[in-house]
Amino acid sequence: MKAKKKIEKIAILTGGGDCPGLNAVIRAVVKTAIFKHGLEVVGFLEGYLGMIKNMTRRLEAADASGILHQGGTILGTSNRDNPFRFPVMVRGKKTFRDVSGQAVKNLKRNKVDALIAVGGDGSLTIAHQFFEKDVPVVGIPKTIDNDLWGTDVTFGFDTALQTAMEAIDKIQTTAASHHRVMVVEVMGRYAGWIALESGLAGGGDVILIPEIPYNIERVCEVVRKRHHYGKRSSIVVVAEGAVPQKGEVVVQKLVEDSTDPVRLGGVGYKVGNEIEKRTGLETRVTVLGHIQRGGSPTVFDRVLATRFGSRAVDLVTQRKFGVMVCLRGLKIEDIALKSVQGDQRKVFPNGDLVKTARSIGVSFGD
């Protein structure tokens, strides 16, 4: 499917786990397409499933009104439904088929000239696979984890940080009242950005991230010392992907059809139980979970999502396909989808943020 000379109609879909700012990006795409370029816009529903099953919604300017501040996505999303590996039942047995041809047919059926795919690692990999099948596509990066290669920041991250920091603030007060150790488990599968930055902002005493394997005895030493000095409480912020020096990540379950099947969770309890057992100090665990993915986007996320969405439409009209919009410093740029595959943007263990945290006495349990 080659792009027509003149782009008249675009499609947008949101794929992967949701995050605050998706509606802001949809709004920016719809408004820029209609007001600036006079294009028509259609939305595919439920991520790539909508493309496979031809579930669409026409998007007028009015549909983009009043959604800027809303969490979630008006289009729905899914972190399963990969068109290149779609589960189908054959004689009662689940098998996987490439139904991408069907999805491309649905683009044509809807007279779509170009696709804007908003997603994380998995969804953007699929976007690139469609580009290799000659679909004119532009990607927009999103994830609360901020672990996408090729952009300095993804929208959704700042809101998740705000949520996590506010939770830590609240936990600080109850921790102090009871002389307790409080463990707060936050999201962050492969990268510890949420734990690191919310931990820094919330005054965490120990921050455990996937990039710096921890030793539980070191964590306990910090907690014991603080108790010895008369500190009323200790806060341990743990990324769900935190891993002990000798051990593995804590896997909660496998979601077979997902582009990334591993679901983590539970390391907070593992760490909390060990702390209580080894130090004798009363310990409680809070797992923030999907609260971090919800809510109204912050100013930063609304502005970034708006800039990404608007630029993506401009790129479509310039016929610049196979790229993802990105933030470099303060500027919105674009980068080939191909070059963002397979790599993750992780916390640099000797980087500035980690060093700053160590300078103020934060322990990484190493």
Question: Which parts of this chain interact with ligand F6P (CB under 6 A)?
Answer: 17, 79, 120, 143-145, 187-189, 240, 263-264, 293
CB of 51 to ligand F6P, least distance (A): 20
CB of 318 to ligand F6P, least distance (A): 30
Task: Name the phi and psi angles at 363, rounded to 5.
Answer: -105, 145
Quick one: 137 or 194, whose CB is closer to ligand F6P?
A: 194
What span, in angstroms and rounded, lies between the C-alpha atoms of 76 and 365? 39
Quick one: 195 or 354, whose CB is closer to ligand F6P?
A: 195
First to last CA, the chain: 52
CB of 67 to ligand F6P, least distance (A): 21
Pairing of strands 93-97, 86-90: antiparallel
Which residue of this chain has its Cβ atom nearest to ligand F6P in the complex? Answer: 187
- Taking alpha carbons only, the member of 35, 117, 40, 30 closest to residue 66 is 30
CB of 156 to ligand F6P, least distance (A): 9
Three-state DSSP at 253 gives strand
Task: Name the phi and psi angles at 87, rounded to 5.
Answer: -75, 130
Annotated active-site residue in 18, 81, 113, 145: 145
Query: Is 145 a residue of the active site?
Result: yes
Which amino acid would we find at residue 329? G
CB of 75 to ligand F6P, least distance (A): 16
Quick one: 15 or 136, whose CB is closer to ligand F6P?
A: 15
Q: Which residues contact 329 (CB under 8 A, 6 or more apart)?
A: 152
Tokens of 258: 């997902």
What span, in angstroms and rounded, lies between the C-alpha atoms of 154 and 77? 17
What span, in angstroms and rounded, lies between the C-alpha atoms of 120 and 140? 8
Quickly count: other Cβ atoms within 10 Å of residue 71's Cβ: 17
Quick one: 17 or 136, whose CB is closer to ligand F6P?
A: 17
Quick one: 113 or 240, whose CB is closer to ligand F6P?
A: 240
CB of 120 to ligand F6P, least distance (A): 6
Contact 175, 360 (CB under 8 A): no
Tokens of 52: 């496979």
Query: Can you tell me which residue has the tokens 């690191």?
Result: 196
Quick one: 136 or 297, whose CB is closer to ligand F6P?
A: 297
Q: Which residues are catalytic?
A: 145
